[in-house]
Amino acid sequence: MAVRYSATGAHATALEDAGRSWVGQGNQRSAEALLRQAHALDEELGSAEGAARVRARPRTVGTRLCHWTHADRPAFGWDILTDTERTIADLVAQGLSNRQVADRVFLSTHTVAFHLRHIFWKLDVTSCVQLARMIAEQAATG
């Protein structure tokens, strides 16, 4: 697995670098294709940080890599949270500030705050402490 990770990780990094180069040269189509490939490899490796970093690249020139699917979600409970909301909730529960969370997932602090408002609303909590307690209870039972 380490050899596969090393080779796949290196490939993802090379694709990201090439995509960044195309962005710099103004070739959006080529950049987006390479960045999508890098993103897919990072997701295959389970590298949420790498995938988030790759998604952030094209935003600088006004393009977004759509990394979500529109799936039916339950009306309540943990399953109502999106993957991004779960990641943010977990990081906040670890005691990270909005700025630290934003840096970790390559989003703005405003976007993190937006996600937190949705998390609070969906889980009917009113504070980060209450959210952390709920996540701890969920981990203990799940």
Element (H, E) at 23: helix 2-24
Residue 5 has pLDDT above 70, yes or no: no
pLDDT(112) > 60: yes
Q: Look at residue 76 in the predicted model and tell me its pLDDT.
A: 60
CA 131 to chain centroid, in Å, comes to: 19
Q: What's residue 2's pLDDT?
A: 38
Q: Say what the pLDDT of residue 120 is.
A: 92
Tell me which range, 33-47, 69-83, 94-108, is most confidently predicted by mean pLDDT: 94-108
Helices (H), the chain: 2-24, 28-45, 48-59, 83-93, 98-105, 109-123, 128-141
Q: What is the pLDDT of residues 16-72, one digit of tens each?
A: 888 888 877 877 778 888 888 887 888 778 777 777 787 776 665 566 665 555 555
